[in-house]
């Protein structure tokens, strides 16, 4: 038995807001917003047997990530916008083509994401201290006259 790639990998990404926080730091107001982003990759393969017709199989893998965006005065701060947590990926396979199985796979991924939602919100809430430390570092680098002379 050998597997032949029948179609290239396709991806589906969906972002969902889960938490936001207002932070005042060094006389600046920041808004941190957190969202989960779910990415599903599909790969359709066909098993080939010498004496039987090929059978398509849809293999998939889904990842759930908690992302942080930070804005100050209406402008995004790219220096602190980043993924802050990645959950262990889930995967599976379904007999048949990926287009036929897509709805069922998306349902499985949605159930997984719903189970992880409380944990994702907890991760976002705990990120406040990390973000403040990162803002401290940025502020320390940008303070004018920080060099002392003797």
Distance CA 39, CA 116 (A): 14
Adjacent-strand bridge partners of 12: 40
Rounded alpha-carbon distances, angstroms, from residue 146 to 27, 29, 97, 133: 17, 22, 62, 18
Q: How far apart are CA 37 and CA 137, in angstroms?
A: 27
pLDDT > 90 in the chain, percent: 66
Q: Which helix (H) or strand (E) holds 121?
A: helix 98-142
Q: Global pTM?
A: 0.79
Biggest CA–CA distance in the chain, Å, is 87
Note the pLDDT of residue 143.
Answer: 66
- Which tens digit of pLDDT belongs to each residue from 63-105? 999 999 999 998 999 989 999 999 999 999 998 899 999 999 9
Rounded CA separation 60/2 (Å): 18
- Tens-digit pLDDT profile for residues 102-127: 999 999 999 999 999 999 999 999 99
Pair type for strands 52-72 and 28-49 = antiparallel
The 3-state DSSP class for residue 34 equals strand
């Amino acid at each position: 038995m050998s597997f032949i790639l029948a179609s290239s990998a396709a991806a589906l990404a969906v972002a969902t807001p889960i938490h936001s926080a207002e932070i005042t730091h060094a006389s600046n107001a920041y808004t941190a917003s957190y969202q989960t982003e779910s990415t599903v990759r599909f790969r359709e393969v066909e098993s080939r047997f010498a004496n039987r017709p090929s059978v398509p199989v849809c293999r998939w893998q889904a990842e759930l990530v908690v992302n942080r965006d930070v804005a100050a005065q209406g402008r995004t701060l790219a220096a602190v916008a980043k993924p802050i947590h990645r959950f262990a990926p889930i995967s599976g396979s379904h007999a048949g083509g990926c287009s036929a199985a897509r709805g069922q796979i998306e349902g499985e991924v949605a159930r997984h994401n719903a189970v992880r939602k409380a944990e994702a919100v907890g991760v976002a809430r705990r990120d406040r201290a990390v973000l403040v430390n990162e803002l401290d570092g940025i502020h320390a680098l940008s303070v004018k006259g920080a060099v002392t002379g003797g």
